[in-house]
């Protein structure tokens, strides 16, 4: 029974922390474009990376 006195506040704290994280994500725009990432997979990127962006290959 005494364990419940410890676990109930811990559970309420963790639930509140999750709620705050969800509200922060909602406010920062994490859920505004749900379909964009899924559609960007199917779009081909025709631009080739320039030689300046890949300096590791230049040394090979």
pLDDT for 41 equals 83
Residue 29, Ramachandran bin (φ over 0: left; ψ between -120 and 50: alpha; else beta): left
User: What does pTM read for this prediction?
Assistant: 0.55
What integer pLDDT is reported at residue 48 of this predicted model? Answer: 61
Please report the pLDDT score of residue 42 as a whole number. Answer: 85
Residue with tokens 């811990």: 10
Dihedral sign for Cα 24, 26, 29, 34, please. Answer: positive
Q: What is the pLDDT of residues 7-60, one digit of tens each?
A: 999 999 999 999 999 999 999 988 888 888 788 888 877 666 666 655 555 555
pLDDT score, position 19:
98
């Amino acid at each position: 029974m005494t364990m419940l006195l410890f676990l109930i506040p811990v559970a309420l704290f963790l639930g509140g922390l999750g709620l705050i994280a969800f509200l922060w994500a909602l406010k920062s725009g994490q859920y505004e474009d749900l379909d964009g990432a899924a559609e960007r997979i199917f779009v081909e990127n025709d631009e080739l990376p320039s030689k300046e962006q890949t300096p590791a290959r230049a040394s090979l």
